[in-house]
Structure 1
Amino acid sequence: MPNEFRESSVLFAAITILRGDSHAGGTAVQGQREAAPEAGAGGAYGALLRFAEGHGLVSSEEWLSLLSALEGGNEHEVFQDPSDPGVLIKVTEPELRLRNGRDRIPKVTPLHYLERWHLANVAFGDCAELVAVIPTAEGVRIVMEQRFVPAADPESPNPDQREINRWLRAAGFEYQSGAWVRQEDGLVMVDTHEGNFILSPEGLRPVDVELYRLKESTGPVIPWEVTLQRLADNSAYR
């Protein structure tokens, strides 16, 4: 994915507005796990809704009934548009609650949630995009579009944990304090279970991990193109 998309997408624009910083994300996408301060009148959800209104992104739950429902996880309802099967549509619960009705611990804001997707775009070559915001009586729902990653073997789409761990180390991560940390750029990855990785024809791909950066991180996140080359050069991983 070209850098121009990364920094001109609706997702990037929403992050910039929520941060209140016109330079947000250009050199250091923070995505820190701690909840960020509420933004503007009505809080962060109000700011996101105003952004969506200004960009024609406000939708309704009726739209979801036109899509094909797929099996989701504890974080998103997942759908596929029959007219465009190459993408997945992932919809949060109101106010970013989990699907079991519980709040996340630690609780996150829309800013953290969107930054996580942007980190995946940069660090792992994802093409996630913010496509809609749905206001409901229970709170705002966020709708993301993510490219569908096909499995090399649909009967066995996920790698085992040993292969995931080997891939993470080859990509520069080390396990510490319950998370995988890449000290070089301060990128932290959690929720690295087998269901969040796909064995694609091009190799192992993370598809739904949670990403953030260490507080002290500065400078850019290592782009996916660089990581791909490192993986190719890593004889231990091959």
Structure 2
Amino acid sequence: MIRLPEIEKLGEPQQQSFREAIEFVLATPLEYFTRWMASNDLFGDDVRLASVIEWGDGQVSIGITQPWYPGVPADLRDIEQYFIHEGWQLLHDPSGHTVFFNYAFGVMAIDAVSRNCYLADYGLQPFDVILREPDENLERFLRIYPA
């Protein structure tokens, strides 16, 4: 299973040490497939389902194929320029993650970092970036739709 971002409340709400942060939680198989389909659509990736195995204990393993992308890990400046040029907006995440949001598609991109974005002769190729539609808590926390 992959981990998807969600808001987690850390500490007790009645204490002054209460804070919120983006944390990563396990995803369902449907969330996993949705992520890869969105990556194929938005980034021109070519992830394909290779196998699904249900183990005796009820756990599920999913095998995929994904192209090998030549190039070198992109630096954060190149990643930011790419996403902004492609219509994404960089959001401020108080918990420190780099988060982009695409208002046209209503989806956010998290984990758009050097290990998941390669720079090649043809440009920047994101892969393994976590795509997710934000829920109300993430919208509020990241101030996606300012009042």
**Do these two structures clear the TM 0.5 threshold for a shared fold by scoring above it?**
yes
User: Higher helix share goes to which structure?
Assistant: 1
| Aligned residue among 167, 189, 204 for 2:124 | 204
| Aligned residue among 123, 129, 142 for 2:42 | 123
Q: 1:51-103 deviations in whole A, cap 9, x for unaligned?
A: xxxxxxxxxxxxxxxxxxxxxxxxxxxxxxxxxxxxxxxxxxxxx167xxxxx
- Which consecutive aligned stretches of 4+ in structure 1 deviate over 4 angstroms post-superposition? none
| Aligned residue among 163, 166, 191 for 2:111 | 191
Distance 1:146 1:182, change over 3 A: same
Unaligned runs of 5+ in 1: 1-95, 99-103, 152-156, 217-238
Q: Tell me the equivalent position of 1:159.
A: 74
Alignment coverage as a number of residue pairs: 111
Larger radius of gyration: 1
| Aligned residue among 53, 67, 70 for 1:147 | 67
Q: Give the 3-state SS of the residue equivalent to 1:147 in structure 2.
A: coil
Q: TM-score, normalised by structure 2?
A: 0.68
> What amino acid maps onto 1:117 in structure 2?
W
Alpha-carbon separation, structure 1, partners of 2:91 and 2:2: 27
Alpha-carbon separation, structure 2, partners of 1:105 and 1:159: 23
Q: TM-score, normalised by structure 1?
A: 0.43
User: Higher strand share goes to which structure?
Assistant: 2
> What amino acid maps onto 1:169 in structure 2?
I
2:133 equivalent to 1:213: yes
CA contact (8 A) 2:2 2:27 kept: no
| Aligned residue among 81, 86, 89 for 1:174 | 89
**Over aligned residue pairs, what C-alpha RMSD do you find?**
2.1
Q: CA deviation at 1:166?
A: 1.1
